[in-house]
Structure 1
């Protein structure tokens, strides 16, 4: 009787073949802390506790792991940021499109106005696209708009009209747009823009003189010399002005004329920008700000 109980007790407490062979392999296969490479890339992994040798059961639990790795999540975030409205690529694309549109509008408007002989009526608006581009996107964008307009006119109507646009309107628009972008005062802006306009006008006169074969600048200075000599003679003076005085008077009158033209452009463009809700980007004098 005691022998039978001893055999039964030995049979129950002796580990079976399944527990000696199968259970260690299962525990080694499903336990991630022993084989971490099995659960690193799989969607789900099994984690198990210590096997119970009495009843031969395994207590296992499943844990969900993300299907995307950290690198894929970072790439998706970068992709969304890449296409966002405030992203760098979107802003560069928008700047390129607006620059091309401003250049096309400015070039076509100048070409049609010159072809229809109405350039004197719309000449004050030819520099406006360059100024808008400079205020919105910076000095580099304004320069690109001017160059693109000149290239477009060069292709459509030849080098003469392209150079004339650059001298009379392109330099003025680029100078004004750059100074307004840098929020310079109106006194400095009007003075520098007047110099740019005067230099462009002298360049235009020299180019026209080369094309027609006559020295227009010399004719202008000769007429000024004759008029001044007549005025001095009528006043009873026998003095004759030198050519240096004539050149000084000519340059002064040209700068004054350009300054008045640039002042009118400043007022006109300030009203235009105020109506289109771009007043915050400008540095206006108090009397202009109150009037607008």
Structure 2
């Protein structure tokens, strides 16, 4: 009897299930092996893959974070968007600064025209475009010019916007672009004089078209009459031709524009130097010594 009980216990121990888990199958092992009676044509198109246990995913840093190795081999996280030397920060600063300059310039020009005090502030209307061109580049100065003209177009109509563009906008953009590129004062004054003269002639033609009167003909006739009066007073019996009158008128326009541009160069140089932008300017030696 005891022998039979020991034999039954021995058989139960042989059929006991192990509590340990099975080892993981290698990647090349298939769960379902190919049977002998299966041919190659009846085999599955894709072999059965083993079950894979995915590992926990790594936590990645967001786009706006940046990890840098410090001196103590530690990772310091900083906001790249808010960094003073960051690309996003500089683009935002450029956009805000140019927008504010355009808004202030348009508002001051509109108020000065409404109050008839444009002659007192006319020398400062080109300054914001010059500052933006020097600080942020020629493209930024061009965008600010377009923004100012569009703002004046909305506030006071196309006539005032065109007048600002011809008398102040083209001159400011030319001066700012030349100063940004580091041109000499001789080249800058010469090109700005041409830009100012072209703007003045464009203003005359525009006004003539609007009032339906040839202002250029009136100016040349007055010059001719003044010369005839001077020649008669001196005792010279000479009648100047109209070609000479046109040539004299062009010389007078160039002299007026050159004197105005030279004064703007002096004024803007002193003003920008006081603002701390002297390193961005290329001033002549006599002006550097005076400043």
TM-score normalised by the chain length of structure 2: 0.76
Matched positions, count: 248
Q: CA deviation at 1:104?
A: 0.4
Q: CA deviation at 1:235?
A: 4.1
Gaps of 5+ in 1: 1-15, 43-66
Q: Does 1:248 align with 2:244?
A: no
Q: CA deviation at 1:207?
A: 1.7
Q: Does 1:214 align with 2:213?
A: yes
CA distance in 2 between counterparts of 1:267 and 1:238 reads 44
TM-score normalised by the chain length of structure 1: 0.76
The two structures, once aligned, show a CA RMSD in angstroms of: 2.9
Gaps of 5+ in 2: 1-13, 30-49, 67-77
**Per the alignment, in what secondary structure is the counterpart of residue 214 of structure 1?**
coil
Q: CA deviation at 1:87?
A: 2.7
Larger fraction in helix: 1
Q: CA deviation at 1:115?
A: 0.9
Question: Where in structure 1 do 4 or more consecutive aligned residues deviate above 6 Å?
Answer: none
**Per the alignment, in what secondary structure is the counterpart of residue 152 of structure 1?**
helix
**Per the alignment, in what secondary structure is the counterpart of residue 28 of structure 1?**
coil
**Per the alignment, in what secondary structure is the counterpart of residue 148 of structure 1?**
helix
Alignment of 1:188-227 (within 5 A): 188-227=187-226
Instruction: Identify which of 28, 36, 40 aligns with 2:24.
Output: 28
Alignment of 1:91-130 (within 5 A): 91-130=90-129
CA distance in 1 between counterparts of 2:163 and 2:54 reads 73
Deviation readout 1:175-195 (Å, 9 max, x if unpaired): 111111111111111111111
Q: Does 1:285 align with 2:281?
A: no
Residues 17 and 247 of structure 1, relative CA distance in 2, 3 Å threshold? farther
Residues 39 and 177 of structure 1, relative CA distance in 2, 3 Å threshold? same
CA distance in 2 between counterparts of 1:187 and 1:164 reads 27
